[in-house]
């Protein structure tokens, strides 16, 4: 039995922020309770500031720069997330079968989006189903059944004929595919860098956009009006200058575009926040980036000008509610992280958990 005392940031209020703060909680049979157990025995006490297990809402367990990885590598990726306090992962596309992780009590919980769906020769090799628009509805239906309530499209990528980012899907096919996903009970998200990709996908009914670097003063109100979430992955956007440098000889127009998107990344995210666009944390770990970066992503949101408590909500209370998973509520599974000091005062403390509790067990 665990007794966790100090400051428990229960949250959320109606705005997704932590106003409900308790002095202690108990973990009994792997679940949270705020009622002191009768005749508590063999109690282990942990002190500190408590948050729900962090959420990395965009990562890729089972994937590296070359494609699918073996189970041993997937295990290491999941353990790295756990050590960072990320106990709920939305796997935003992976060619690997990681269902075996669900049977492991010591590994984070994963919500899968199936495998990426991309246009032929318009994405990273070995990552996605590469198809043509007339096949989109069928493949979306397939991945909706394979995933955990999400489907991942590649909304834009470099078009070698034009030498720049370009949308992958005609509006009619995208709308039909998103409608099919919704019919099957799945939400749809899409990788999008470019400006012109966004409005057609939102108007087609998409639920979320990854990266969303192309948001402008014209499209931000559309996202806010329709409640379309974004996962900015700022730790990944930081790599844009290096990507541009590597590709500018062959695609100078694309390289210049990527640099401009990078330069205004913080302004873009802050403008989206100010307009009321839902924002959640994601790192894009598992491709070229290592796992375990969610704390750094929260710090990036703060650097962009988002208030610390709102940035925390994007990785905890708000993100869990968005994904349909509980936080630190009575009877919820005890997935939580304990910190040395108040993360609202300095979000950088998220990179150094004092204790990690998963399914009621101290695992870190």
Residue pLDDT, tens place only, 57-84: 999 999 999 999 999 999 999 999 999 9
Residue 225: enclosing H or E segment and its boundaries? helix 220-226
Nearest to 33 by CA among 45, 24, 41: 24
β-strand pairing of 44-52 with 2-9? parallel
Task: Quickly state the pLDDT bin for 14 (edges 50, 70, 90).
Answer: low
Query: What are 190's strand-pairing partners?
Result: 153, 209
Tens of pLDDT, residues 145-204: 999 999 999 999 999 999 999 999 999 999 999 999 999 999 999 999 999 999 999 999
Contact assessment for residue 289 and residue 250, using Cβ atoms and an 8 Å cutoff: no
Q: What gap in Å lies between CA 95 and CA 206, rounded to an integer?
A: 22
Q: How many CB atoms lie within 10 A of CB 134?
A: 9
Given the structure tokens 């992780």, which residue do they identify? 101
CATH 2.30.40.10 range(s) for the chain read: 2-51+327-362
Q: What gap in Å lies between CA 272 and CA 105, rounded to an integer?
A: 37
Position 15 scores a pLDDT of: 57
Q: Which fold has domain 2-51+327-362?
A: Urease, subunit C; domain 1 (2.30.40)
- Mean pLDDT, range 258-276, rounded to an integer: 98
Domain 54-292 superfamily per CATH:
Metal-dependent hydrolases (3.20.20.140)
Position 40 scores a pLDDT of: 73
Position 39 scores a pLDDT of: 75
| pTM for this model (two decimals) | 0.96
β-strand pairing of 187-192 with 150-154? parallel
CATH 3.20.20.140 range(s) for the chain read: 54-292
Cis peptide bond prior to 12, omega within 30° of 0 = yes
What the block records as the tokens of 51 is: 């948050």
Nearest to 92 by CA among 54, 59, 117, 137: 59
């Amino acid at each position: 039995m665990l007794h966790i005392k100090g400051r428990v940031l229960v949250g959320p209020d109606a705005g997704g922020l932590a106003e409900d703060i308790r002095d202690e909680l108990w973990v009994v049979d792997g679940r949270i309770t705020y009622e002191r157990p009768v005749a508590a025995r063999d109690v282990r006490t942990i002190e500190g500031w408590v948050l729900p297990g962090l959420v990395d809402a965009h990562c890729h367990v089972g994937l590296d720069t070359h494609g699918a990885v073996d189970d041993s590598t997937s295990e290491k990726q999941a353990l790295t997330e756990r050590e960072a306090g990320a106990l709920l992962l939305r796997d935003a596309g992976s060619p690997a079968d990681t269902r075996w992780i669900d049977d492991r009590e010591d590994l984070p919980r994963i919500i899968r989006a199936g495998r990426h769906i991309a246009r032929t020769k318009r994405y990273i090799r070995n990552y996605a189903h590469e198809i043509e628009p007339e096949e989109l509805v069928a493949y979306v239906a397939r991945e909706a059944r394979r995933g955990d309530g999400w489907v991942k499209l590649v909304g834009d990528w470099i078009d070698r004929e034009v030498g720049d980012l370009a949308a992958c899907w005609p509006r009619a096919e995208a709308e039909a595919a998103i409608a099919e996903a919704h019919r099957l009970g799945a939400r749809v998200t899409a990788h999008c860098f470019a400006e012109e990709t966004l409005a057609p996908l939102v108007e087609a009914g998409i639920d979320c956009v990854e990266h969303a670097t192309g948001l402008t003063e014209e499209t931000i109100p559309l996202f806010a009006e329709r409640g379309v979430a974004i996962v900015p992955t700022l730790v990944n956007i930081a790599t844009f200058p290096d990507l541009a440098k590597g590709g500018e000889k062959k695609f100078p127009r694309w390289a210049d575009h990527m640099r401009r998107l990078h330069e205004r990344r913080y302004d873009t995210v802050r403008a989206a926040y100010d307009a009321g666009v839902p924002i959640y944390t994601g790192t894009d770990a598992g491709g070229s980036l290592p796992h375990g970066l969610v704390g750094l992503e929260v710090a990036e949101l703060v650097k962009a000008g988002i208030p610390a408590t709102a940035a925390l909500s994007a990785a905890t209370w708000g993100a869990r509610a968005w994904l349909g998973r509980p936080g630190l509520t009575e009877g919820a599974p005890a997935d939580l992280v304990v910190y040395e000091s108040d993360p609202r005062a300095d979000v950088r403390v998220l990179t150094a958990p004092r204790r990690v509790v998963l399914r009621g067990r101290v695992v870190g």
